[in-house]
Structures are given as C-alpha cells and as structure tokens.
Structure 1
Amino acid sequence: MPTASPGPAALLDVGTIYHEPAVPDHPRGREILGRFPHARREVVRSHWNIPGLHGNEGKAEDWLRTKKTTLVLGLRKGMEIRPNGRSADFIAPGASNGCAMACSYCYVPRRKGYANPITTFVNVDAIAAAIRRHADRLGRKEAPNQVDPWFWVYDVGENGDCSVDAAISDNVRDLVALFRDLPNAKASFATKSVNRELLDYDPRGKTRVRFSLMPPVVAKLLDVRTSTIAERIAAIDDFVAAGYEVHLNLSPVVYYEGWLDDYRELFSDVDARIGSKARRQLRAEIIFLTHNDRLHEVNLRWHPRAEELLWVPDLQESKVSETGGTNVRYRRGLKRQLVAEFEALLRETLPYCGIRYAF
C-alpha cells in the first residue's frame, strides 16, 4: 500500500473566514461557520473583491499559507449552465471556486490575482434547483456522444476540487444525491485528492470521478498539496466498488526529455493495480499543457522551479486569452506530433482504456 498523504481535511487550518453578509442566513452557511468556531470572521461585500486578499501583490509569497488558513464563504449569484462537449455536455454552476491544493498550472487563480483560497457557496440548494430545471427541460439523451452514451453529463467541479470541498461542507454530498435521483443526468468532476468519505455517498453510477494522473516525478514538482499518484491509482477500484464511474484525467500532459518513458511506467502501474470491473468502464481524457503569463509571474514568486517545466518559450506559442492575459501552449506542429505519440502509447499499454478526447 502507498504511504498515505494527509487527507483533504488536513490541508486546512482555517484561521480567517471572509463571508458575505447573508451567509449566516443560510443553513449551510451556519453549518460551515460552526465547523470553524475559532476562526476570525470578517464580513465582506463580495467574495470576488476582498481588500488585502485579491489583487494584493504581497500575497504571492504567502500562496500556500493563504490556501491553508483562509476560507471565503459567499452566495453564488449566476446560475448559467454552459455547453461544453469535452469533459461534460454542460458546465454546471459550481458550489466552490478556488482550492486548498496548489497545482502550479491551475487556471483558476488567473482571475484572482495573488491569492486563491477556497470560496464555498452556501446556497447549494439554489444551485441544485438550477441543474434540476435544466435537466428536466432537456429530457432524455437521444443520441450517444463521446461524453456519455446515455446520460447528460454536468461538470460540477470546473473551478475547484470536489474531493477537498467535501471536507468543508456537505455540498458535494448534496450534489451526488441530486444526480442519483435525476433520471437523465450524471455528475462529473476531476480530482487530485483522495477523499474516502465520498465512498459512503452512494452515487449508484450517476457520478463520474476523473482521477488526474501524471508521472510521479512530475507530480512531486507540479501537484503541490495533493494526494500522491500512487494513492490516486489505489483509489480507483474502491471508487468503482462504491458505485462511481471512474475515468482518467491525463492533464496537463507536460513535454520534457524522457516524458514517454515516464508515462509508460505510469500506465503500466495503472494496469497492474486495477481490477476487471474498473477496466471495463475505464476511459481517458487527454489535455496537453496550457499555461498563462499572469500565473507564470505569480509562480515565480512562490514556486519558480515549476516554471522550468511549464514556461518553455522555445516550444510554445501564445494566444490572447478571453480574460486578456496571454496563454501559451505547445507549437501547433509539435503538439500534433506529441498528441499522436501519446495516444499511441496509451493504446499500447492500456488497450481497454478508450480515449474520449485529446487536445
């Protein structure tokens, strides 16, 4: 058995809670505040704009400490459900934003400046109601697609990690229960944390967990404050047995000298450690690295070694992002070659693992 890293709850030692004025009016808000009775509370007008936290350049050096000691509580206002077509049919309004983990390539901090702790939304009942209304309007899924052959799939964790969110409140439990009862829909989220409390949620096949994997030597550098790769692989069979559909989120794929040899070893490890039930339902999504100039600047302040792998101008091309920053990704011709080589390796080493998409 792999050596266990601290569970999601151990990632948090909340000393300060920023919350919007209406948070204590909600049962979930009172529940969360009660879990951290000794934390200092500060009322703020908006969870998006907290003086001294968001946009505070001096917070970059405190990146990890802020994630451990700070929690933000708010109400989700927008309930937009967006089409996706890759990881899911739709992106649901998330019950959180930000994360206690600190993956150095994460896109969420790009909009938050120099601090990115968890923001938990306490009006999960309104989020669930919006999803239910949307699914009711859709009706039955008539034609299979690469997302799922039978159900409409909603990504419920686009801007956070549900495994960690579940250590703060019952929001994730409530969403798993929602989809368990929706006849035409399934939840989905990617995770880099193994939270075994989720094994008791009884999803009955209606929640897809996508365990994110990369070679351990790279994960040690880039996946900061996460469960080890060995723990994630070891959890696959247990989550399948508990009623989850389990896929692989091979993201981000980072190119470096010897990368294919490391991935061959990773896939061989997966093959050796999962059982027949997990193999029959295993699928993978492949997402090559996209980085961002704003995150690059923040990372240089707290984790410059990661940038040696992530920021490689000789191999990358840039594109202005929707939020005004500059995204970089592997040059088109190189990336086409890398994707082909990666897909060929996956098919060779895990022939039963279908590829849902790759880009």
Structure 2
Amino acid sequence: MAPAEPLTLFDPEPPTTPAPPNRLLQVRRIYAEPAALDSSRGRQVLGRFPGAEVVEVPSHWQIPDLHGNEGNVERWVRVKTETLVLGVKKSLSARPNGRSANWIAPSTANGCAMACAYCYVPRRKGYANPITVFTNIEQITGYLRRHVGRQGPKPEPDQADPDSWVYDLGENSDCSVDALVSDNVADLIATFRELPTAKASFATKYVNRQLLDLDPAGRTRIRFSVMPEDDARVLDVRTSPVAERIAAVDDFVEAGYEVHLNLSPVVLRDGWESAWAALLQRLDDQLSPATKAQAAAEVILLTHNRDLHEVNLGWHPKAEDLLWRPELQQPKRSQNGQDNVRYRNDVKRDGVQRLQRLVELHAPWLRIRYAF
C-alpha cells in the first residue's frame, strides 16, 4: 500500500505581488498588532511592501513613536509616506448620520497618506497619523450585511438618497488611497454590489483608476472633492490635481459608479467667488450629459481647528494665511466632539448663498443635496 501523501498547508489567499511604485507610499516601517499580522489581510499588506521593517505593538493606539510625538510635525509628510499601521477593529457599529449618508460604517482604515492642511483626521492619533489598516475585513463586511438587513427597504426619500440606505465608508480615511494598500475597499464595493437596499459612499481627492475595474453596479457613490486650483495647490497637499479629478469623473460614471461632487472646502478669501465661478464653468464645459444627469453636490464651508493651526505652523505655515481668519471665525463644537472654528454665522450664511447662486448660474444641472 502506497504511503499517504503528506498534508500540505497553504495560504488561502493567492500570493501578493509588491505594490507598484507610488509617490504617496514608500513604506519602510509597518507597526502591527500580533492578531493583524496573523490575518490573511495583514499578510497581504506585508506582501505589498516586502522591504518594510515590521514592528509588533500591543495596540494600534499605543505607538509612542507616532502618538503625541510633537517631533513628527517636522517629519509630517515623511511619516505619512514611509509608515503604515496594521490593527484589528475592536468595536463594530454604524452611527446615524444626517448629511452625506444615513449611516457611518465601521472604519476599515483611519489616517491618510495625503496631507490636506485643513483635514481633521490628524487630530485623532496625535501627529502625522499615517494609514492604519484594519485587517478583520470579514467581520466588518459581515456586520454591514446584517445591519443593512435589519433596516429593510428605505421607507421614504431623504437628502442622502431617494431609494437606498447610504453608508459612508471613509469618515477617517480616503478609500481611493486605502485601495493602494489592501483589498479592503474592493471587498466593501463587492459587498454593497449585493445589497439592493443600500449604497456605499466615500469622498476622495485621489484618482485611483484601479477602482474602475471593480464593477460597483451602481451601488457605490464616489464623491470627488473639488476646489479652485489656486486654493488646492496650497491646501490639498499630495492629492491628485483638481484637473485630474475632473477628468476622471466621466470614466467612473461609465464604470458603474454613481459620482457626486463635493464643493469642499469653500475657503473665503479675496477673489473666491470668481475662482469658484471659473471652476463651475469648467465642470459645465467638461462633464458629459450622462454625468450631469446623475450628479449632485455637497457644499461645505471651511471648518478649522486651533490645534491643527498650531501643527500647520510647524510644517506648512503658508496654508494658515488662507485657513486662519480669526476676524471671520467663531468656535464650533463638532459632531465628533472636536473644538473647532468655523466662519461666523452671518459670514457663513452669506457665503453659502453666494455659492448657491454661482451654481445656479454656471452649473444649473448640479443639484445641491445640502450646504453647511
């Protein structure tokens, strides 16, 4: 009798090829929780960055080299470029939201490789806050399927969507960039493709054309953020140029995404109205009839933060010439508990009304879902 063949152990996921060169991510160090390292998604990330040093940490929240390290202000962009964190999402919940979405989905990542000067995400994990990938994606997508199932059909239209429950995926990250690191975003898009009563949604400032191959079947909404290019060159650090974002919109619509526009943030400065008029006219000139027929927009005036103001002075003080306007701003307690500053009520109300008139004049097809 022939001897039995030896049992062969194998990884259920196919081998991961290294990530192609990208200016945003040249990863040299990966901090990781042990459970994240042991997961198939964690191994995928390690395979994409095979030359990175791996440092085990007890928690993605407990990394002294990153959290509360003011010295990282001087290395703001370098940390975002060279560092990743792997963790396990411990608490899974979908929080109600009344603006962009009906629900904020559990995060599959937080932090970002980009460095927008007004972004609130760095406030959550000390200084720099590079991307943290949560590797327990099967638990997260399973939770979302169950949560959507409990909601049943949407009973009536609202500002998020007339027919579907909308789940915001990227509250604390940019999903287009996250998709460079792992397949979490691909798995989320595949999950919502199978949920006829719900849609995924995320805002982005990065054009990742790999997403065009994911067949969203109309169940994922991408919200491309746009602003006048003169502002973006100062404030949208390490993002895709605004012209590239606009050029991508029709392609994403054709690929099966619902594509909206975030007119965000609106920064009130000398000449802002003429700059926004030119941008809106550009959208009207370049976008296709099919895109315009399904388009909608959010208008979001700038919200800033005193602590972030101090951080920016340490690495990008030029941005604060646009962002920090005490004569126009007042304190604001945000929905996520941050002590922020925003334009005074009268200034903000006037700014929203002026921008709405510009939309009516230069892009009347662009339905504004909400403005604040």
TM over 0.5: yes
Q: How far, CA to CA, are the matches of 1:95 and 1:321 in structure 2?
A: 22
- 1:182 maps to 2:202: no
Please report how far the alpha carbon of residue 8 of structure 1 lies from its aligned counterpart in structure 2 after TM superposition. 9.1
Instruction: Give the counterpart of 1:99 among 95, 102, 112.
Output: 112
1:135–1:185 Cα contact (<8 Å) kept = yes
In structure 1, the residue matched to 2:360 is: 347
Please report how far the alpha carbon of residue 101 of structure 1 lies from its aligned counterpart in structure 2 after TM superposition. 0.3
Instruction: Give the counterpart of 2:85 among 72, 80, 92.
Output: 72
Query: What amino acid does structure 2 have at the position aligned with 1:150?
Result: D
In structure 1, the residue matched to 2:229 is: 216
* Structure with greater Cα Rg: 2
Larger CA deviation: 264-273 vs 314-323: 314-323
Q: How far, CA to CA, are the matches of 2:241 and 2:168 in structure 1?
A: 23
In structure 2, the residue matched to 1:47 is: 60
Secondary structure of the structure 1 residue equivalent to 2:161 = coil
Q: How far, CA to CA, are the matches of 1:183 and 1:286 in structure 2?
A: 28
- 1:248 maps to 2:261: yes
Instruction: Give the counterpart of 2:330 among 317, 332, 347.
Output: 317
Secondary structure of the structure 2 residue equivalent to 1:298 = helix
- 1:119 maps to 2:132: yes
Query: What amino acid does structure 2 have at the position aligned with 1:289?
Result: L
Instruction: Give the counterpart of 1:11 among 24, 28, 41.
Output: 24
1:71–1:117 Cα contact (<8 Å) kept = yes
Please report how far the alpha carbon of residue 326 of structure 1 lies from its aligned counterpart in structure 2 after TM superposition. 3.1
Instruction: Give the counterpart of 2:47 among 25, 34, 37.
Output: 34
Secondary structure of the structure 2 residue equivalent to 1:80 = coil
What does 1:216-295 align with in structure 2 at a 5 Å threshold?
A: 216-295=229-308
2:80–2:131 Cα contact (<8 Å) kept = yes
Please report how far the alpha carbon of residue 9 of structure 1 lies from its aligned counterpart in structure 2 after TM superposition. 3.6
1:9–1:164 Cα contact (<8 Å) kept = no
Query: What amino acid does structure 2 have at the position aligned with 1:313?
Result: P
Query: What amino acid does structure 2 have at the position aligned with 1:301?
Result: G
Report Cα offsets for 1:246-285 as digits up to 9, x if no partner.
0001111110011010001001111111111001001000
Percentage of pairs with the same residue = 60
Q: How far, CA to CA, are the matches of 1:8 and 1:208 in structure 2?
A: 28
Please report how far the alpha carbon of residue 113 of structure 1 lies from its aligned counterpart in structure 2 after TM superposition. 1.6
1:8–1:199 Cα change, 3 Å: farther
**Unmatched runs of 5 consecutive residues or more in structure 1:** 1-6
Query: What amino acid does structure 1 have at the position aligned with 2:56?
Result: V
Secondary structure of the structure 2 residue equivalent to 1:113 = coil
Q: How far, CA to CA, are the matches of 2:191 and 2:332 in structure 1?
A: 39
1:132–1:324 Cα change, 3 Å: closer
- Give the paired residue count: 353
In structure 1, the residue matched to 2:70 is: 57
1:206–1:244 Cα contact (<8 Å) kept = yes
1:55–1:115 Cα contact (<8 Å) kept = no
Larger CA deviation: 106-115 vs 272-281: 106-115
Q: How far, CA to CA, are the matches of 1:320 and 1:356 in structure 2?
A: 23
1:8–1:193 Cα contact (<8 Å) kept = no
Report Cα offsets for 1:305-324 as digits up to 9, x if no partner.
00111111011011355777
**Unmatched runs of 5 consecutive residues or more in structure 2:** 1-19
1:164–1:193 Cα contact (<8 Å) kept = yes
In structure 1, the residue matched to 2:17 is: none
Please report how far the alpha carbon of residue 183 of structure 1 lies from its aligned counterpart in structure 2 after TM superposition. 1.5
CA RMSD between the two structures: 1.3
Secondary structure of the structure 2 residue equivalent to 1:329 = strand
What does 1:157-176 align with in structure 2 at a 5 Å threshold?
A: 157-176=170-189
Secondary structure of the structure 1 residue equivalent to 2:299 = strand
Q: How far, CA to CA, are the matches of 2:304 and 2:191 in structure 1?
A: 34
Please report how far the alpha carbon of residue 39 of structure 1 lies from its aligned counterpart in structure 2 after TM superposition. 0.5
Please report how far the alpha carbon of residue 114 of structure 1 lies from its aligned counterpart in structure 2 after TM superposition. 1.4
Query: What amino acid does structure 2 have at the position aligned with 1:127?
Result: I
Q: How far, CA to CA, are the matches of 1:114 and 1:82 in structure 2?
A: 26
Query: What amino acid does structure 2 have at the position aligned with 1:165?
Result: D
Report Cα offsets for 1:319-347 as digits up to 9, x if no partner.
35577753110011111111111111111
- 1:146 maps to 2:165: no
Higher relative contact order (CA 8 A, sep 6+): 1
2:94–2:106 Cα contact (<8 Å) kept = yes
Secondary structure of the structure 2 residue equivalent to 1:105 = coil
Q: How far, CA to CA, are the matches of 2:88 and 2:225 in structure 1?
A: 29
Please report how far the alpha carbon of residue 115 of structure 1 lies from its aligned counterpart in structure 2 after TM superposition. 2.1
Q: How far, CA to CA, are the matches of 2:333 and 2:359 in structure 1?
A: 32
Report Cα offsets for 1:104-162 as digits up to 9, x if no partner.
00011112221210001111111111111110000101101111011000000110001
2:37–2:86 Cα contact (<8 Å) kept = no
Which 4+ runs in 1 deviate beyond 6 A? none
